[in-house]
C-alpha cells in the first residue's frame, strides 16, 4: 500500500476524531480519540435534552468551548502523524476499512446530535416579534425553550393556533374545567381575581408576573367577557398586553388544543436594551 497523503488525514479527522490517525497507520491512539468523540456527542445530546436553564446552557457552551481546541489539535496532529508516516514510507490503511468507519461515524454523529430534536425534546430558540407579551417580553426578546416542563396555570407556552403553523407565545391562565372571565379588564379564574389592588401585577398558582392592563377608555369585548369553561383537551391562553393580544378570549381564536402546544417555559438569553441576560422565564 502507498504511504498516506498528509492533507487527507485532518480531513478524515473532521468526520471522526482519530480516523486520520488510523488512516496514517496508527493503531491504539485512534481508539481513545473515537471514545472521546462519542463522549462529546453524548454530552451534547444530553444537555440539549433537558429544559434550558442557566446551568445547562453554560455547561453546553463550556463543553463545546473545550472540544473546539481539542479537535483543532487532533487535526494538526493527524497531519503531523501522516507526514511522518509518508517520510518513513509506512503504508496507510486500506480504504475498504476506512470507508465503513467514515460512514458509521457520520451516521452516529447525526443520530447522537439530532436525537433530542427527533424525539421532540431538544430546546429551540425563539425571537419575540409582536408586542402581545409586553411588558415582560418586549419585541426582540430571544429565548431558549423546550416541551419538557408540565403545563400549569401561569406558565408561558408556545403553540400553533388552530388551522395555522404560525408560532404564538402566550400565558396559560386556565386548564380544562376552569371557569375564566374578564370583568373591567380584570382576570378571574374560578371566581378568584388574578390581580388585587395593583392591576398591573397578577398571581396565579404562585406565578407572579407583570401585565399591561387595558386603559378604561379603550376597554372593549376583551376586557368584559362572558364566563367560559375551558373544554377538555385544551388550555386557555392570554397575552400579558391585554389590550393588544389575539388569544383565547376571542371566539375565532378559542382555547388551544393540547396537541398544538410545542414548548413550555424556558430561558431568556437576550433582552432589548440589556443584551445577554440568561434568566428563567417568569
Q: Does 1 reside within a domain?
A: no
57-99 confidence digits (pLDDT tens): 899 999 999 999 999 999 999 999 999 999 988 888 888 888 8
Q: Are residues 61 and 134 in the same domain?
A: no
Please report the pLDDT score of residue 47 as a whole number: 85
The CATH number that applies at residue 191 is 2.10.109.10
- Total count of domains within the chain: 2
- Which residue, of 56, 86, 118, is where some domain finishes? 118
Whether 243 and 128 share a structural domain: yes
Confidence grade of residue 112 (pLDDT, cut at 50, 70, 90): low
Same domain (yes/no): 82, 155: no
Are 41 and 113 members of one domain? yes
Using alpha carbons only, what angle is made at residue 249 by residues 246 and 252, rounded to the nearest 5 degrees?
70
User: Cβ of 234: how many Cβ atoms within 10 Å?
Assistant: 20
Q: Is pLDDT above 70 for 110?
A: no
Instruction: Tell me the C-alpha to C-alpha distance, in Å, between residue 257 and each of 104, 130, 262.
Output: 41, 22, 11
Q: Is residue 22 part of a domain?
A: yes
Q: How far is CA 250 from each of CA 108, 188, 240, rounded to the nearest angstrom?
A: 48, 16, 15
Choosing from 118, 137, 163, the residue where a domain stops is 118
Q: According to the model, what pLDDT value does residue 63 have?
A: 94
- What is the pLDDT confidence band of residue 149, given thresholds at 50, 70 and 90? confident
Does 4 have pLDDT greater than 70? yes
* Weakest-pLDDT range from 3-7, 49-53, 210-214, 277-281: 49-53
CA dist 4 → 33, 100, 105, 183, 247 (Å): 19, 18, 20, 78, 64
- Calculate the CA dihedral of residues 29, 32, 33, 35 and round it to 10 degrees: 160
Same domain, 91 and 156: no
Per-chain mean pLDDT for the chain: 89
Q: Tell me if 3 is assigned to some domain.
A: no
Question: Does 120 have pLDDT greater than 60?
Answer: no
Residue 6: CB atoms within 10 A of its CB come to 19
pTM, two decimal places: 0.76
The answer to whether 57 and 267 have CB atoms below 8 angstroms apart is yes
Q: Is it the case that residue 121 has pLDDT exceeding 70?
A: no
How far, rounded to the nearest angstrom, does the alpha carbon of residue 246 sit from its chain's CA centroid? 24
Share of the chain above pLDDT 90, in %: 61
What's the gap between Cα 191 and its chain centre? 35
Residues 252 and 134 in one domain: yes
Is the same domain home to 166 and 211? yes
Q: Which has the minimum average pLDDT: 47-56, 152-161, 265-274?
A: 47-56
Mean pLDDT of all residues in 194-198? 84
Judge whether residue 5 has pLDDT over 80. yes
> Residue 2 domain-assigned?
no
Do both 95 and 31 map to the same domain?
A: yes
One domain, residues 54 and 167: no
Asked if residue 258 and residue 197 are part of one domain, the reply reads yes
The answer to whether 182 and 188 have CB atoms below 8 angstroms apart is: yes
In 66-196, the DSSP E strands lie at 124-127, 142-146, 156-159, 168-174, 179-183, 186-189, 192-193
Where does the pLDDT of residue 115 fall: very low under 50, low under 70, confident under 90, or very high at 90 and above? low
**CA distances, 280 to each of 5, 136, 218, 235, 267 (Å):** 51, 12, 32, 22, 4
DSSP tag of 212: B
Q: Is the pLDDT of residue 114 over 70?
A: no
Domain that holds residue 247: 124-280
Considering the domain architecture, whether residues 114 and 132 belong to the same structural domain is answered as no
153 and 195, same domain (yes or no): yes
168 forms bridges with which residues in the sheet?
Answer: 159
**Mean pLDDT, residues 121-126:** 78
Residue at which a domain ends, from 84, 118, 152: 118
Flag whether 242 is in a domain: yes
Q: Tell me the mean pLDDT in the region 125-138.
A: 93
H and E: helices and strands count for the chain:
5, 14
Best mean pLDDT range from 58-62, 149-153, 235-239: 235-239
User: Does the pLDDT at position 130 exceed 80?
Assistant: yes
Q: Is residue 96 part of a domain?
A: yes
The pLDDT tens digits of the residues spanning 32-50 come to 998 998 888 888 888 888 8
Peptide bond into 135 cis (omega under 30): yes
Amino acid at each position: 500500500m502507498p504511504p498516506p497523503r498528509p492533507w487527507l488525514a485532518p480531513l478524515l479527522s473532521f468526520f471522526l476524531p482519530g480516523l486520520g490517525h488510523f488512516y496514517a497507520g496508527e493503531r491504539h491512539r485512534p481508539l481513545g480519540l473515537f471514545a472521546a468523540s462519542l463522549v462529546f456527542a453524548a454530552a451534547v445530546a444530553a444537555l440539549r435534552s433537558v429544559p434550558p436553564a442557566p446551568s445547562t446552557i453554560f455547561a453546553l457552551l463550556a463543553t463545546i468551548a473545550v472540544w473546539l481546541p481539542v479537535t483543532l489539535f487532533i487535526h494538526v496532529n493527524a497531519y503531523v502523524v501522516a507526514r511522518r508516516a509518508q517520510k518513513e514510507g509506512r503504508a496507510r490503511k486500506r480504504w475498504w476499512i476506512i470507508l465503513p468507519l467514515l460512514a458509521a461515524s457520520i451516521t452516529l454523529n447525526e443520530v447522537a446530535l439530532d436525537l433530542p430534536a427527533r424525539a421532540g425534546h431538544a430546546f429551540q430558540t425563539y425571537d419575540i416579534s409582536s408586542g402581545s407579551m409586553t411588558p415582560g417580553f418586549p419585541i426582540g426578546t430571544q429565548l431558549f425553550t423546550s416541551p419538557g416542563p408540565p403545563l400549569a396555570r401561569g406558565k408561558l407556552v408556545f403553540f400553533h393556533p388552530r388551522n395555522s403553523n404560525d408560532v404564538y407565545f402566550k400565558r396559560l391562565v386556565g386548564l380544562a374545567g376552569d371557569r375564566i372571565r374578564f370583568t373591567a379588564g380584570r382576570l378571574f379564574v374560578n371566581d378568584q381575581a388574578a390581580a388585587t389592588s395593583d392591576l398591573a401585577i397578577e398571581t396565579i398558582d404562585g406565578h407572579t408576573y407583570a401585565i399591561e392592563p387595558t386603559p378604561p377608555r379603550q376597554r372593549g369585548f376583551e376586557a368584559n367577557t362572558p364566563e367560559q369553561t375551558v373544554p377538555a383537551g385544551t388550555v386557555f391562553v392570554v397575552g400579558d398586553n391585554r389590550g393588544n393580544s389575539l388569544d383565547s378570549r376571542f371566539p375565532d381564536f378559542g382555547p388551544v388544543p393540547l396537541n398544538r402546544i410545542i414548548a413550555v417555559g424556558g430561558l431568556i438569553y437576550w433582552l432589548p436594551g440589556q443584551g445577554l441576560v440568561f434568566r428563567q422565564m417568569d
